[in-house]
Chain A
Amino acid sequence: GQQLNQSPQSMFIQEGEDVSMNCTSSSIFNTWLWYKQDPGEGPVLLIALYKAGELTSNGRLTAQFGTTRKDSFLNISASIPSDVGIYFCAGQLRQGAQKLVFGQGTRLTINP
């Protein structure tokens, strides 16, 4: 099925470093979502983006909806140990659409 291309697949960084990950698609999406999943738990919504070009922050997290509607990035500044987990991008073909298309996930590991 349709899938978003998310990169990188994994990251190993030092505590305090900034992190950047992105998702691209050949299709246009009207909504981009970023989730974080901790081991053994369901994904938790971090940021939702509804407009092309939109830049939204949530604490140390910043995400942008690409102007072409085919990509999005997520940045984490000054990483801390609790940022460890798997980050997924997800797209909705239209706002309020109930089906999500997921990226493959970015596994973030932080060395203290």
Chain B
Amino acid sequence: GAVVSQHPSWVICKSGTSVKIECRSLDFQATTMFWYRQFPKQSLMLMATSNEGSKATYEQGVEKDKFLINHASLTLSTLTVTSAHPEDSSFYICSVLLRDTIYFGEGSWLTVV
């Protein structure tokens, strides 16, 4: 069965607004989750590591004030794209580690209009 779930699967928002994407681990606790971004026909790019109870660790070049990550519980991490612009339109995917193997969520399509 599924290990991790994302919501929503797709979202459309207006420029300047903020949008939140949720990543939930199913039936287990995940102290660490990862957020990736994927542009069409490209590989996954790690954006940040979400740590339960502490600040997220961002990869070089990723704006932490733009992409807010909150890991308030052991089963939920959220990615908030603030003041979204059309260039933020992308496919966002989270992942978790379970028994030495990394599993991915279904992904969330964000379209900023």
Tell me, yes or no, whether A binds B. Answer: yes
In the complex, chain B residues 57-113 whose Cβ is within 8 Å of any chain A Cβ: 59-60, 91, 93, 95, 97, 100-107, 109
Q: How large is the interface on B (under 10, 10 to 19, 20 to 34, 35 or more residues)?
A: 20 to 34
Of the candidates B32, B46, B104, the one having the most CB atoms from chain A within 10 angstroms of its own CB is: B104
In the bound complex, what is the Cα–Cα distance between A96 and B98 (angstroms)? Answer: 9
Known contacts: A33-B102, A35-B104, A96-B100. The answer to whether A42 contacts B43 by CB under 8 A is no
In the bound complex, what is the Cα–Cα distance between A100 and B104 (angstroms)? Answer: 12
For the residues of A in contact with B, the DSSP-based class is: loop
**Is A67 close to B, CB under 8 A?**
no
Number of A-B contacts (CB under 8 A): 56
**Is B26 close to A, CB under 8 A?**
no
**Is A60 close to B, CB under 8 A?**
no
Which chain A positions have C-beta within 8 A of B12? none
Residue of A nearest to B91 (CB): A40
In the complex, chain A residues 54-112 whose Cβ is within 8 Å of any chain B Cβ: 88, 90, 92, 95-96, 98-100, 102-105, 107
In the bound complex, what is the Cα–Cα distance between A107 and B95 (angstroms)? Answer: 22
For the residues of B in contact with A, the DSSP-based class is: strand
Selected contact of B100 from candidates A35, A40, A95, CB within 8 Å:
A95
In the complex, are the beta carbons of B6 and A42 less than 8 A apart?
yes
In the bound complex, what is the Cα–Cα distance between A33 and B104 (angstroms)? Answer: 13
A residues adjacent to B (C-beta < 8 A): 1, 3, 31, 33, 35, 40-45, 48, 50, 88, 90, 92, 95-96, 98-100, 102-105, 107
B residues adjacent to A (C-beta < 8 A): 6, 32, 34, 41-44, 46, 49, 59-60, 91, 93, 95, 97, 100-107, 109
